[in-house]
Amino acid sequence: MKKMMMMMVATLLAGVLSASGAEVTSDKFESKYYKDLPLFSTAASETVEKQPIEHFGPVGIGIDLLLPPFQMQLSRIDKGSPAEATGKLKVGQMIESINGEKLKDIDPRIQLGAIITKVEATDGVIRFMVKEKPDATAGEVIVKIPVLGAYSKTWPLNCPKSDKIVRGKVATVEEFTSSAQLRSNPLLPAKLTFAANGRTDDPLVYYTGDLLMHLNTNQALKMSMRTTDGVEYLFIEAGGFAANTPPTWKPRLIVMKRGG
């Protein structure tokens, strides 16, 4: 176990050192889109014609990033989602802006994640300016998502937002039973597909070894598998550690059922 942990730490440190080393020579960095050298090597490329963002938070849409960097096109509308409820969003529409913001200067995933975080902390309103064709006039479509509030200064303790995120999860693996109701949660999408290269189908979620890394919340979450009544379940820490958490604190666990 020690050896495994050392290998995982080495992997993470290697990524940090690589990023730091690149920043030393950032005076040679040239880009028509990025203001500074992107922190992550997986940032959207300025030369790839189409790059998917599978999940835009709890909105219920997929977005394709197109050239010139970066135009946004709706690639999917999830059934039963806030996006579908508007009756106005359609696959193929171009997104001119979201809450007045156009993609600019930084990794699109980081910018889009920040929009969701801000909206969840305020009124839950997302204003899309969409058009059927690139040269058409854009019209406004409003999508409402749940308001979770902002993280408190004592997060994760005495924090209403943290309580909403971990509600319906289990405190320990042993507490879980196959008859428990699995609920969706704002931290992770309802479905998560793990690829062999350390990526998932969510552009903000990566993994290495038994750690799941969430870029939007800057957390490394420990994962474990368990089979209950012949079905495999993945247990993921809900996160929330802070400098003021007591020594005995343990994160609750998000439970995901393995699909077919």
> What CATH number does the domain containing 115 carry?
2.30.42.10
pLDDT at 54: 82
Pair (55, 138) in one structural domain: yes
244 and 196 inside one domain: yes
d(CA 95, CA 101): 10
Do 113 and 170 fall within a single domain? no
Tell me, yes or no, whether 155 lies in a domain: no
- Please check whether residues 124 and 80 belong to one and the same domain: yes
Instruction: Please give the tally of structural domains in the chain.
Output: 3
Same domain, 41 and 131: yes
Query: What DSSP line would sit under 144-195, residue for residue?
Result: E-----PPPTTTTTT-HHHHHHHTT-BSSTTT--TTSPP---SSS-S---B-
Q: Domain boundary at 117, 144, 171, which?
A: 144
- Phi/psi at 66 (nearest 5 deg)? -115, 165
| Residues 187, 212 within the same domain | yes
For residue 226, tell me if it sits in a domain: yes
- What's the pLDDT at 66? 96
Does residue 129 lie within any of the structural domains? yes
pLDDT tens sequence for the chain (260 residues): 444 333 333 333 333 332 333 333 445 788 999 999 887 777 899 999 999 988 887 898 999 999 999 999 999 998 888 999 999 999 999 999 999 999 999 999 889 988 988 998 899 999 999 999 888 999 999 999 988 788 677 655 566 766 565 444 666 777 777 666 555 555 677 677 787 778 887 778 888 888 888 877 777 888 888 888 777 788 888 877 766 777 787 888 888 887 65
Of 52, 83, 82, which Cα lies nearest the Cα of 66?
A: 52
Instruction: Report the alpha-carbon distance of residue 200 to residue 77 in Å, rounded.
Output: 19
Going across the sheet that includes 71-77, the strands are: 50-53, 61-66, 71-77, 94-98, 125-131, 139-144
User: Is the pTM for the entire model greater than 0.75?
Assistant: no
Q: Which residues, including other chains, have CB under 8 Å from residue 177's CB and lie 6 or more apart? A: 228
**Domain enclosing residue 172, as ranges:** 160-257
Q: Quick check: is 9 in a domain? A: yes
| Same domain as 244, residue 198 | yes
Q: Which structure tokens are listed for 120?
A: 């969840």
Is there a single domain that holds both residue 56 and residue 129?
yes
Q: How far apart (Å, rounded) are the C-alpha atoms in residues 63 and 98?
A: 12
Residue 152 lies in a domain: no
Q: Looking at the structure, do residues 128 and 42 belong to the same domain, yes or no?
A: yes
Residue 64 in domain: yes
Q: Are residues 48 and 121 in the same domain?
A: yes
Residue 129 and residue 177 in one domain: no
User: Has residue 139 been placed in a domain?
Assistant: yes
Backbone angles phi, psi at 69, to 5 degrees: -65, 135
Contact 260, 231 (CB under 8 A): no
